[in-house]
Amino acid sequence: MPVSDRMKRTPNCVGICIDEAKEGFKGRVYNCFSKEPQRFTDITELFYIVDGVMDALNFPAIKTKNRKFKKTASDFKVQPIDVENKVLGADELIPSGDKSGYVLMVTGRDNATWQGMIFDKKNDVEYTFNSEVELIRILK
């Protein structure tokens, strides 16, 4: 099963390739506006990167402003995104050389948490989640 048609139509999808998941998460995040990935060394940085993509697109709209993770903005910098220049489609967000990876689409940011869908390339299945905690469980 390929990435769903709904994911193909929205620009807020990101590709997540997890390189290590032993004592935390390390990996790469791809977005539709850059061919180069942004690396993360823990789950907090992954959340900052995905939040940065959604904030740049202003989609989905944020309902609660004051979200905080353990790191502060001065500790980790999210790469700027040129939202006018889409270079990848949702089905291209996981490089062809990677046998496993995820395509994440956040459909809502209600009650200071994320809701959405995630496609697992390795197992060829799509999951829905209603919080970051559920998302972490899927990624493990």
Q: pLDDT tens digits for 26-59?
A: 999 999 999 999 999 999 999 999 999 998 998 8
pLDDT at 1: 57
SS3 assignment, position 96:
coil
pLDDT at 85: 85
Question: Side by side, which strands form the sheet with 125-129?
Answer: 34-40, 26-31, 13-20, 102-108, 115-120, 125-129
Q: What is the mean pLDDT of residues 12-36?
A: 91
pLDDT at 111: 83
Q: pTM of the predicted model, to two decimals?
A: 0.85
pLDDT at 79 over 70: yes
